[in-house]
Structure 1
């Protein structure tokens, strides 16, 4: 792993030019919590089970608190509770959090805090500088000028040792980008640009080696000290040097506190409980071994040891001092006054910012639309060469009908290729929404508008190849009517993908659900079974809400509504498979084919309207799903 900068604290201080005008945190002097408990229903016994029990803590401005414990100790749950996020599904939460000694509420708290996820919420196809720029545009108050925004970005790049990587891509599975340590620094920097007063870090050193871990946390420490930011980080067995960067430690085991105090005091405290720390050992590793009983040979003895540690802490002078500090803070608490008029970006510009970011991603990341364009072009060549230059005769009427079905249905079906790109966008949206940057309306609007030009390009490329190779009805109006129906088909198909992927944001499940839905629409769209003979249940429940049915109808009318087909001549006699007014001319009027399906050439505008309603309906339902999923 590349570690480009292992600067000392003094080196970082020298370059920390982030102006005090926007990282000033004098308004938040402390953050504390009292008697935080989280209870869930045990899966086996169905009885209440506490995963956190009466946890309390206190952090002052400029301090860094390490939240540690073995797996299953409740670190992530506590971090979520403190950050005013959902603790876990179906959990009951009790306890109070305080800012400057006054109880805090979720709306105001998210305006002054920021949460850095364990996995980097970064767009791989953006550069480092672009990532910070979009973070600033989405989160900075509308009163901040462009000049000041650019100045902040440059200062953060300099402060976090990223100046040389400013023009480097974050990196995608296809294109290599910055190192893991640099990604973590970009993640932290993108959250610091919003002037947080409280910063939560979920496993900030996960996946990094010891040098990179120290590098990331060292930058965070310098910034926290210099600008009085409260930092609470869950961390798993840091190296000795990284551990010593923290001021405070909250050690959990099985949801209870085993220690909560200064990092410098852990040697004396654990020695007083009978656990003398060896000289040459990582203190963080030692205390985790003490409270981790998962691998103990004698579980009963290990549980007794852990109970003794919890009892010792509750009876300790340190615990009493912590409680006294909490009581003193809450009694003197004045709360925090927020100027709501200047704490958020311009809501009218957020969709434009999201569109700009998505547009850059869409043309740089080949997975987003590049592969889909290539796939649809190949599908068009396949279709055009299979149904190659069909002549307008009655023998080819079935072939034309099959080609129309294939073109509409499989164009729709292959929209499943959009699922991975959408799930990536959805993951980023979820993290940014939890940080209070924007809501589902801006996300859904930007997602829809960015996709329109690409879907139209796909439609044109597909149609130029397949329409003329297949020799469908000639004429400019016929061609662009075909384009219109395919374009509406793709808009509806992608909207269906958005709805189902929002409802079930798991790739394999979303893929299966979308494939099943498309299979259903193919069955009831009127091609397999004519609408008038379709089973009553399928006809009235699904056929009339099937967007593929309207596409099939529209494309059939486009082909057969104004075209005639030559009948077959056998032994000098004309034999027409469809009776029509042109039978005496040995021709079949295309409308006769439409009559078989119960189609007519009237009210095509009405069916276009139905398509628009279906597209809007899918997007609206997708918005409802995102709105309902608030955590």
Structure 2
């Protein structure tokens, strides 16, 4: 006790600098500097590990995307009903259309007939996209289980689905488009044929994307089929398929529906591709031939201020919008369903 009091009295008599030096010397002589050093090294390693994890996350996303794409291509190629039967159906429709309107010519009667052919092509071709709905609904079931488990996210799935379907959609567009164009004998020239196939490709892709958005929101097969057909009909109605655009009622049908209708942009582009540069016989024999540009403006009410390629650009933008809507719809559906799954877990484990 006496020794402790003397040590305390000794410290009291020291200056602040001397006390600080004494404490530093005792700290360096203890085990605490080594503990602090190890802790700092551990924190530095953890920070580097977090940085490496961020890079690993990017690599992991790419691996998820590649795996999903590979699996989706295998499923689509192995399942006859997913795309192979649709390719056959599209080809049969193309043969039927081509034989029905074989060598349409440039007579006065062919002016209306060409519009009917384009309407028939887009009416049937777009509706055939609904046939892929049951297969997508099956994919949605797998998607929900795997995303809830955290295997991948919505963007990777939507992008892989689109890239997987791309070869099949291109085959459909080139095969059916070439059959129709060669039999009906639209505007001659390879560039016109190529435009026809490109336009058809985007219309089928956008129509398919709109069907998928509907399926992601309505998971029951029968209501989903009805909703998909309804959305497709809404896209077909404000176009030259049923009535010229200038004659549409301004409210709802003309503004805004005709501007977001892929059928409207598709039919406009194809009518321009077919008629611009052609001349048609007059109704009264002996009169001067009628230019295709005049027919487009007077009969179909199509504005010729912008090129036919702007119609393709509009279809491309609609395709991006629908794919983005699909990501949003899947994400919202998952966010809404997740709390209910936690509250009401499935039985039968």
TM-score between the two structures when normalised by the length of structure 2: 0.76
- The secondary structure found in structure 1 opposite 2:286 is strand
Is the 1:557–1:600 Cα contact (8 Å) retained in structure 2?
no
Aligned with 2:286 (options 574, 589, 593): 574
Distance 2:328 2:178 in 1: 37
Does structure 1 residue 468 correspond to structure 2 residue 182?
A: yes
Aligned with 1:364 (options 78, 103, 110): 78
Q: For residue 217 of structure 1, what is the aligned residue in structure 2?
A: none
Distance 1:347 1:376 in 2: 35
Aligned length: 280
Does structure 1 residue 547 correspond to structure 2 residue 251?
A: no
Aligned with 1:617 (options 306, 312, 321): 321
Q: For residue 590 of structure 1, what is the aligned residue in structure 2?
A: 292
Once the two structures are superposed, the pairs formed by residues 327-338 of structure 1 within 5 Å of their partners are none
Q: For residue 21 of structure 2, what is the aligned residue in structure 1?
A: none
For the structure 1 residues 563 and 344, does the alpha-carbon distance in structure 2 shift closer, same or farther, using more than 3 Å as the test? Answer: closer
Per-residue deviation at 1:526? 2.7
For residues 512-569 of structure 1, the C-alpha deviation after alignment (integer angstroms, 9 at most, x for no partner) is 1111112122211133221111101110031111111000000000011121112355
Is the 2:278–2:292 Cα contact (8 Å) retained in structure 1?
yes
For the structure 1 residues 343 and 448, does the alpha-carbon distance in structure 2 shift closer, same or farther, using more than 3 Å as the test? Answer: closer
- The secondary structure found in structure 2 opposite 1:524 is coil
Q: For residue 422 of structure 1, what is the aligned residue in structure 2?
A: 136
Please list every run of 5 or more consecutive structure 2 residues that lacks an aligned counterpart in the other structure: 1-51, 339-349
- The secondary structure found in structure 2 opposite 1:567 is coil
For the structure 1 residues 465 and 606, does the alpha-carbon distance in structure 2 shift closer, same or farther, using more than 3 Å as the test? Answer: closer
Distance 2:136 2:309 in 1: 31
- The secondary structure found in structure 2 opposite 1:422 is helix
For the structure 1 residues 355 and 532, does the alpha-carbon distance in structure 2 shift closer, same or farther, using more than 3 Å as the test? Answer: same
Distance 2:123 2:165 in 1: 20
* Larger proportion of helix: 2
- The secondary structure found in structure 1 opposite 2:280 is strand
Does structure 1 residue 504 correspond to structure 2 residue 218?
A: yes
Distance 1:388 1:604 in 2: 25
For residues 237-271 of structure 1, the C-alpha deviation after alignment (integer angstroms, 9 at most, x for no partner) is xxxxxxxxxxxxxxxxxxxxxxxxxxxxxxxxxxx
Is the 1:350–1:442 Cα contact (8 Å) retained in structure 2?
yes
Q: For residue 273 of structure 2, what is the aligned residue in structure 1?
A: 558
- The secondary structure found in structure 1 opposite 2:302 is coil
Distance 2:180 2:249 in 1: 33
For residues 13-51 of structure 1, the C-alpha deviation after alignment (integer angstroms, 9 at most, x for no partner) is xxxxxxxxxxxxxxxxxxxxxxxxxxxxxxxxxxxxxxx
Is the 1:492–1:614 Cα contact (8 Å) retained in structure 2?
yes
For residues 419-455 of structure 1, the C-alpha deviation after alignment (integer angstroms, 9 at most, x for no partner) is 0111111111111111110010110010111111111
Moved over 4 A (4+): 339-345
- The secondary structure found in structure 2 opposite 1:427 is helix
Once the two structures are superposed, the pairs formed by residues 110-509 of structure 1 within 5 Å of their partners are 346-509=60-223
Per-residue deviation at 1:493? 0.5
Distance 1:617 1:436 in 2: 26
Q: Which has the larger radius of gyration?
A: 2
Is the 2:119–2:240 Cα contact (8 Å) retained in structure 1?
no
For the structure 1 residues 527 and 365, does the alpha-carbon distance in structure 2 shift closer, same or farther, using more than 3 Å as the test? Answer: closer
Higher relative contact order at CA 8 Å, sep ≥6: structure 1 or structure 2?
A: 2
Per-residue deviation at 1:345? 7.6
Distance 2:308 2:112 in 1: 23
Is the 1:503–1:622 Cα contact (8 Å) retained in structure 2?
no
Per-residue deviation at 1:604? 2.8
CA-atom RMSD in angstroms = 1.9
- The secondary structure found in structure 1 opposite 2:254 is helix
